[in-house]
Amino acid sequence: MKQDFGFETRRMRKDSDGTVLHEILRWSSEELYRYIQREMETNPLLKMREDFKREMDEAFGARFPVDMDEWFQDACDDDDIDNVDAERECRRKYQNMAYNGITLQEHLMSQLKAMDISTDDERIAAFIIENLDENGYLPVSKHEIAAILKADRDRVSRMLRLVQTLDPPGVGARSLRECLLIQLSQMGKATPLIKTIILEHLKDMAHNRLGVISRKTGIPLEEVQRIRDLIRSLEPKPGRWFASLREERYIVPDVVVKRIGEEYHVFVLEHAAPRLRINRMYLNLLQKPYLDKDVSEYIAGKLNSALGLIKAVEQRRIALNKVAMSIVSRQKEFLDGGPRYLRPLTMQMVADDCSMHVSAISWVVEGKYIQTPHGIFKLKCFLINF
C-alpha cells in the first residue's frame, strides 16, 4: 500500500501537466486555489462552480488572478517603458508563492540589502521600493523622484531598472505593458513579435479578439492563441500576494472536527480540495468528425492536463481526510478535555494508520489547519517530531 502511494506520486509528473502530487499535497489551500485559478485561465476545459469561486474569494480576501479586462482598470496607461537588460534571465518564474506575513517592501528591501551598491544608490532604490503601491507598481515618475531626492535622473533610471530585476518579476513597473515586458524579458521570451502584440494589441487580447490580431498582424491564429496563453500566464499585479499592513489576515481551516453523539467526525472543507469539472462543450466538440486535427490535438492535450489536476486534487482530499482521521482517533482526550490532554503522536504512527509514507504525512500537514472544539490549530502541532 505504501508503494502504491509512491507510484501515484511518480505518475503525477505526467498526469497534472508537470505538477507532481507532492506539490499538490504540500500547498496550503490558498496556494492550491491560486494555482487552479491560473490553470483555468489557460485551460478552457477546467471548470469550477461559480458560487464556490465567490466563497473562495471571500475566504482569502479576493486576492486571486483577475481577468484581462480588469488589468486595464487597475494599471496606468503610461507607455514610457525603459528597456530591461535582455541578457538578464530571471532566476525562476514566479509561481504563486505565498509570502505569509511579509510585505512587498520587506521582501524587496531584503534583496536590496544583499547587493553591493553605493549608499546613494541604495537610498534611491529604497525610496522607489517604499513608494510602490500594493500591486507592485510605481505611481511616481522618475522626474518626481529625482526632484524629491535632488538626484540625477539617469541615476534614478538605473536604480529603477535595478528594482525591476528583483523578485517578484514585474515589480517596479509603471504600466501593465511594462510589467508584462519585464517578466517576458526575464524569461527570455520578449521576442519582437510578442513585444508588438503587447504594445499595440493588448486591448484586443484582453477582449479575446484573436481574429482581429491575426488579421492586423498577419500572424496565424494558432500562434496568436499561443501568445495569448503565454501572456495570461504572467502576473499582472506582482505585489498583491504579499501581506499588507492595512489588512487583517484570517486563518481559514482546511478540516473541521465535529462531535455527533459520542463520536468525533472529520470533514475536509471544499476549499482544501476544490471539486473541479470538465467543460462538456469541449468534450462534445472533440467527438465531431470534421474537427481540425490541430484543434483536436489541442483539446486532447488540455483534457489530459485537466484530468491530471482533478486526480491530484482528489488524492489530496483523500490523503488529508486520512491524516485528520488518524489524528482525531488518537487525540480523543484532547478533543474532550482540551490542550492539557494532548498525547505524544509521531508521524510514523499516523503513517501506519494511513498506510502512507512518512514523507507524505509531512507534505499533507504542512500549512494545513484543523478546527476543533478548542480552537483552530496547525495540523503539524499534533506531531511531536515534525
Q: What is the pLDDT of residues 2-16, one digit of tens each?
A: 333 332 333 333 344
Query: Could you please report the per-residue DSSP string of 250-294?
Result: ----SEEEEEETTEEEEEE-GGGS--EEE-HHHHHHHT-TT--HH
Residue in the block written with cell 505611481: 139
**CA proximity to 364, closest of 310, 326, 327, 320:** 320
CA 203 from centre of chain? 24
**CA proximity to 40, closest of 74, 67, 12:** 67
Phi, psi angles (nearest 5°) of residue 377: -130, 155
- Distance, in Å, from the CA atom of 305 to the CA atom of 14, rounded to the nearest integer, reads 8
- Distance, in Å, from the CA atom of 158 to the CA atom of 170, rounded to the nearest integer, reads 16
Are the CB atoms for 275 and 49 separated by under 8 Å? yes
Q: Helices marked H in the chain — which ranges? A: 2-15, 21-26, 29-42, 50-59, 68-74, 104-113, 119-130, 142-149, 153-163, 176-187, 192-200, 202-206, 210-217, 221-232, 280-286, 293-330, 332-337, 347-354, 358-365
- Distance, in Å, from the CA atom of 161 to the CA atom of 182, rounded to the nearest integer, reads 10
- Distance, in Å, from the CA atom of 273 to the CA atom of 25, rounded to the nearest integer, reads 10
Report, as ranges of residue numbers, the positions in the chain whose pLDDT lies below 70.
Answer: 1-20, 50-101, 243-250, 385-386
- Residue 354: predicted pLDDT: 94
- Distance, in Å, from the CA atom of 173 to the CA atom of 130, rounded to the nearest integer, reads 14
Q: Can you give the pTM of this predicted structure?
A: 0.49
- Distance, in Å, from the CA atom of 248 to the CA atom of 268, rounded to the nearest integer, reads 25
- Residue 329: predicted pLDDT: 94
Are the CB atoms for 111 and 104 separated by under 8 Å? no
- Residue 14: predicted pLDDT: 39
Residue in the block written with cell 488524492: 315
Are the CB atoms for 221 and 204 separated by under 8 Å? no
Parallel, antiparallel, or unpaired: how do β-strands 369-372 and 255-260 relate? parallel
How many beta carbons lie within 10 A of that of residue 84, not counting itself? 19
